[in-house]
Structure 1
Amino acid sequence: MKKLQYILMAIMALGLFFTSCTEDEEPFETITENDDPRILDPIFSDGQNGELPLIAEIERDGNITMELVVTPSAYSTVTWMIDGNQVHEGTELDINLKAGTYLFKVLVTTDAGKSTYREGTVKVNPLAEDPWATEQGFERIIVPGGSAVLYGDNLNLVNSLVIGGKTIGDLNYVEGDGGNYIEYTVPEDLSVGQYRVLLVDESGNEYGANTVTVTQSAFVTEGAGRANPNSEWRLTGLNMDQIASLTIGGETITDFAEQSATELVLTSPDLEAGTYSLTGKTTDGNDVEFYSKGSVKTEITVTFSSETVLFEGHHYVSWIFEDGNPNKTFNLIGKDVFASMSAGSTLSIYYSIEPADVDRQLQTTSGWWTMLPGTEAVMLNEDGVVEVVLTQEALDLIQAQDGFLCVGHGYYVDKVTVN
C-alpha cells in the first residue's frame, strides 16, 4: 500500500513539473499573413435576379455604421469604398451620406497580397420635407448642352443643382398633371461619365438626388422596338445626328429621310414578319445605344409585321381631364373603319408610358365607355403593346355605341394596327 502511495506522489510531482514548464512558454499565433483572408462578420445576404443585396437602409439624418470581423486580423488591411471611391480604412465605419442609393464595397487585403471582398447597396432615404428627385425613365441620361428634367417631390424648394461640381442656377419648376419636375440645361463642358446630383435650397442646404449619366453617344430612346416592312420608321433619342448607319436583318441602312439631334426617319427594309437584331454605328465608329426595358443596350430585337396601320402619332390619354378635352380619351379611329373588319381580327395598340404619372392603366371601350367583351384594364409599367381580339360581339358593340375608345391614365397611344 505504501508503495502505491509513493507511485501516486511521484506522478503528481511530475505533472506539476510539466505544468510549470508550459506556463513559462509564450502563446503562439496559428494564423499567418499567408493564410487566405475571410470576412467572418457581418454576413452579406445574396442578391436576387443578378442584383446586389441591400445591406443597409436608413434615414438621411442617421449614420451608416458597420464593424467588420476579419481573419487574419493582424495581417489584413480593411478598405471601404463607396461608388468606387475609397472613403475609409479600418474595421469600423461610421459615415453620414446624403439621400440616395450607393454601391458599397469592403475589401480585405493581407500583407501577402491576398484579398477578398463583399459588396452591396446602401439606401439612404430622404426626410418627408426634403427636396427629392425620383427616377422615372431615361431622363437620367443627359447630353452636354442639352435640355433635361428631374421629376420628384418638394422640388419647388430647389434653388440650384450641382452636377459634377458645376452649379446650374437657371431652373424652371413645372407643376404638371402627371407630376412635378425641374427643367434645366446641362452644362456644355460637363465630361462624359456618371455624377451624383445635389439639390440646393435657398439657404444653401444640399440634398442628395442620386445620379445622372452624361453621354456623347447616339442614344435611341423610342421607336426601335417595332417596324412595318418597307414603310416610314421614326426613331427618337439623343445625339441622333451622329448615327451613320443601322443594320437589321443583315441589311445596313445609311440613307435617312430626316435626321436631327433628336430624331431619325428612314424607310424600313422589306423584311418578312418576324424578329430581327438591330445594331448601329455612329460617325466616329462607336456603337449606337438603345434604351430597352429599363436598360441600355447596343443590340436589341425589332419585331417586323405586316399589320395595317390605323393610327400613328403620340396621343396622350388621361381621365383626369374634363369631358371635351381631346386627351381624356383616344377616339381617333372612326367606327366606319371597324365596320369593314371581320371577327377574329387582332387590334394591336402600341403605347409608351408617361414617366411622371402613377397608377397608369389602359382600357378599350365602346364610345359609351362600355368595356369591350373579353377585355380588362391593363396596368402599365413600361412601353409595350396591348392586343385585343375583336369578337363579333365587340364589333357589334362598337357600331351600336358610337365607336371605339382607349381610356385610362398615364400613357401615349403611338400606333394602332389590325391584323
Structure 2
Amino acid sequence: MKKILYSLLAVIAVFSMGTFSSCSEDNEEFITATEDDFPQILLPWFSEWENGEPVEYKNLSRDVEFVDSATVTPALYTTVQWLIDDEVIHEGLKIQHTFLAGEYVLKIVATTTKGKSTSRTGILTVRPLESDPIPGEDILDRQVVPGKEVKLHGTNMDNVVKISFGEKEAAAKFVEDGDNSYVEYTVPADLALGTYRVTLTDIDGNVYGGGKIEISNEAPVVTEETLWEGEFNVTWDTPFRELQSQFKDLVVAGSIIRAYVTGEGQGNMTTDWWTNILTGGQGDSGRGDIEISGTMVLEFVLTDFSMQLMNEQGGAIFVGDGYTITKITKE
C-alpha cells in the first residue's frame, strides 16, 4: 500500500514540476520580448474601416470626460501617443481629456525604441447638449472666402457673439429668421487657405464646438433645380397651386425652396390649410407672412415637420397678395 502511495506522490511531483516549468518559460518569453520586436496594440479594439474611411469608435456627450487606456507589446520598449486630427494631445498608456462638441479623428500610435510603429484610427463623436449652439452643415456656411461677410445657420445661435478660427476671431451678429435663423460675421481677411476647426463663444464667455469651416478662394457654387417657371400673380383669392400635390414628392427634409418674386405685398409658403410650412402657425397673425417689396427671393429650409404638414394638410402652396412669382427652385 505504501509503495502505491509513494508512486502516486512521485507522479504528482513530476507533473507539478512540468506545469510550473511551462508557466515559468511562458512568462520568461513574455518578459524577454525585445525592442527589436514589432509593436502591437492589443487594446483598445477598433472596427475595420468602411469604404476607405475609419468608423466610429466612441460616441459621448460633450459634458462627459473621454477616458481610455492602451495595452501594447513589447511593453517595456514601447511608447503610446494619442492624436486628434493628426495632432498629438497626450503621451502615455492612459488618457483623460475633455472635448468640445464635434467629430474628431482619433489615432493611437505605438512606437518602439527602435523606431518601429503601428497605429489604430477611429472616429470620436462628441455630442452637443440640447441647449448648446448647434450650427448646421450647409455647404454655403462651411466653405467661405477670406474678408467676405457670411452666415452660419443653426439652432440656439441667438447668444453667439464670436466665431474663432484658431487665434483669429470674428464678431458675430444674430439674425432672427424663424427656423432659418443664423449669425452673420466677416471672415478674417488674413486667414490662410485651409480647413479650420472653429469655436463659438456666447455672451457669457462660454465656448462651444462649431465643427470645421474651409477657407477657400471661391465660394461654393449653389446647384438649384427649377421646379416651375413663368408668371403667376398671387392674390388672397388666387394662391399659387401649380405644385401643390407635387411638392411632397419633389422635396425632402433639408431641401431649400426658393420663390423668386416681385411686387409690393405680402406672402408665404403654406399647406393647403394656409398653415406656415415651417412653424405650423395659422391665421393672419400666426402665419407670419413676409413683407415683399420689389424683387426678392423667399427662402424656405424644409424640415421633418414641414414634410409632415404637407402630407397631412394637402401639400404646399404660396399665399398672400400683391406679388408675382416668376420661378420656384429647390436646392
Q: Give the TM-score of the pair, scaled to structure 1.
A: 0.51
Deviations 1:125-159 (A, max 9, x none): 12222222222333111110012111122211112
- Deviation for aligned residue 1:354: 6.1
2:159 & 2:219 partners in 1: Cα distance?
Answer: 32
Whole-Å separation in 2 of the counterparts to 1:325 and 1:130: 27
Q: Matches of 2:288 and 2:159 in 1, distance apart?
A: 32
Contact 2:159 2:174 survives alignment (8 Å): no
Name 2:201's counterpart in structure 1.
Answer: 200
AA matched with 1:202: I
Q: Tell me, yes or no, if the aligned pair for 2:225 and 2:329 is still in contact at 8 Å.
A: no
Verify the 8 A CA contact 1:136 1:356 in the aligned structure 2.
no
Question: Aligned residue for 1:55?
Answer: 57
Structure 1: how far apart are the matches of 2:125 and 2:48?
16
Distance 1:136 1:188 in 2: 22
Deviations 1:14-68 (CA, angstroms, capped at 9, x unpaired): 969x89xx79x99634432222222222211234444421111111111111111
Structure with the larger helix share? 2
How far apart are residue 167 of structure 1 and its match? Answer: 2.0
| Aligned counterpart for 1:413 among listed residues 322, 328, 331 | 328
Query: Residue in 2 aligned with 1:221?
Result: 221
Bigger mean CA deviation after superposition, 149-158 or 125-134: 125-134
Q: Partner letter of residue 156 of structure 2?
A: N
One-letter identity of the residue aligned with 1:80:
W
* Offset at residue 414 of structure 1 (A): 3.5
Q: Do the aligned partners of 1:63 and 1:94 also contact (CA within 8 Å) in 2?
A: yes
Which residue of structure 1 lines up, in the alignment, with residue 136 of structure 2?
134
Asked if 1:318 corresponds to 2:290, the answer is: no
| Identity rate, percent | 32
Alpha-carbon distance between aligned partners in 1 of 2:41 and 2:175, rounded to the nearest angstrom: 49
Please report the RMSD computed on the Cα atoms of aligned residues, expressed in angstroms.
4.4
Q: CA deviation at 1:86?
A: 0.4
Q: Distance in 2 between matches of 1:355 and 1:164?
A: 33
Correspondence for 2:105 = 103
Offset, 1:407: 7.0
Partner Cα distance (1:156, 1:178) in 2: 12
Partner of 2:264: none
In 1, are the aligned partners of 2:140 and 2:220 still within 8 Å (CA)?
no
Give the corresponding residue for 1:191.
192
Does the CA-based 8 Å contact 1:179-1:357 persist in structure 2? no
What's the counterpart of residue 95 of structure 2? Answer: 93
Change (3 A) 1:35 1:406: farther
Matched with 2:114 is 112
Aligned-partner Cα distance in 2 for 1:113–1:29: 22
Question: 2:160, 2:173 within 8 Å by CA — same for their partners in 1?
Answer: no
TM-score by length of 2: 0.63
* Matching residue's letter, 1:205: N
In structure 2, relative to structure 1, the CA distance for the partners of 1:225 and 1:108 (3 Å cut) is: farther
2: CA distance between counterparts of 1:127 and 1:63? Answer: 14
- Name the SS of the counterpart of 1:191 in structure 2: coil
2:318 and 2:48 map into 1 onto residues whose CA distance is 42
The number of residue pairs the alignment matches comes to: 260
Post-superposition Cα deviations, 1:217-268, rounded to whole Å, max 9, x if no partner, equal x454124999xxxxxxxxxxxxxxxxxxxxxxxxxxxxxxxxxxxxxxxxxx
Q: Is the 8 A contact 2:68 2:96 kept in 1?
A: yes
Partner of 1:28: 28
Give, in angstroms, the shift of residue 208 of structure 1: 1.2
Q: In 2, Cα distance between the equivalents of 1:158 and 1:414?
A: 31
The answer for unaligned runs of 5 or more in structure 2 is 227-257, 262-267, 271-275, 278-282, 291-297, 320-326
Is the contact made by 2:83 and 2:108 (CA closer than 8 Å) also made in structure 1?
A: yes
Instruction: State the partner residue of 1:148.
Output: 150
For the 8 Å contact 2:103–2:125, the answer to whether it is kept is yes
User: Residue 325 of structure 1: CA displacement?
Assistant: 10
Secondary structure class of the residue paired with 2:76:
helix
Deviations 1:72-119 (CA, angstroms, capped at 9, x unpaired):
222211111001110001111110011111111111122232222111
Q: Is the 8 A contact 1:82 1:105 kept in 2?
A: yes
SS of 2:88 mapped into structure 1: strand
For 2:116 and 2:225, the matched residues in 1 are separated by 47
1:65 to 67, 75, 89: 67
